[in-house]
Amino acid sequence: MRKKLVAGNWKMNNDLDAGLKLTSEIIHMVEDEVRGNVGVVIAPPFVHLTKISQLLKNEARISLAAQNCSEHEKGAYTGEVSAGMLASVGVNFVIIGHSERREYFNETNEQLARKTDIVLNHGLLPIFCCGESLEIREKGNYVEHVCNQLNESLFHLSEEELRKVVIAYEPIWAIGTGKTASTEQAQEMHHALRNYIAGAYGKELADDITILYGGSCKPSNAPELFACADVDGGLIGGASLSSRDFVDIIKSF
């Protein structure tokens, strides 16, 4: 049975004190309120990771993620952070290919393939993001576009390696645009991605892959989204900055 997971991406928010306070609130609320086999991940900014790792060292249910990493092992890459560095401070997951990284920093599928490899090589777990813009959605070739992202960034992996990857589908066209992705649209894409993986790796592996929804998930719509057959949780943005909202989303299963 595939893993249910809710991951909070804080993006470029919170100073260290605020991040430590939020983490402490989440720890206590998860302990007190969350039942069932749901994994929890938080992804603070890089500069918070060491301190927050210390808070989480005895927490079996809550894992730590980085929001990005370098495609290089080490060297003269000023401002970059390597997968090895992240592993050394207790990081478990790394978000790869978030829509904002693709858009603002022009990350390509080929770069993301290298990042995926380097993350796996250091024993970390990738949360691989994929999705389509409004222009591609309106053209109608959105399934082909998103499946191609998987093909070019993930399908060089062995079956054993791919089993370690969490996929997060981001309907970019429905994030901050005033448009809304329906649960039917979310399920359609998650099902299409799972079928595409099945075509390349077989149904058994595809059925084991965790696929998260990354499009404006809130406590009000999480129960309906998480009830979809192929939606295994969420990659949460703004709502993860509120401990109450984030934990209510976790409790939506």
Annotated binding-site positions for substrate:
9-11, 176, 216, 237-238
Looking at the annotation, which residues are catalytic?
A: 98, 170
Binding-site residues, please?
A: 9-11, 176, 216, 237-238
Between CA 146 and CA 111 the distance in angstroms is 16
- The amino acid at residue 217 is C
CA dihedral 217, 111, 52, 78 (to 10 degrees): -140
Contacts of 68-71 with CB under 8 Å at 24 or more apart are 68/94, 68/95, 68/96, 68/98, 68/101, 69/94, 69/96, 69/115, 69/118, 69/119, 70/115, 70/118, 71/111, 71/114, 71/115, 71/118
Between CA 77 and CA 188 the distance in angstroms is 40
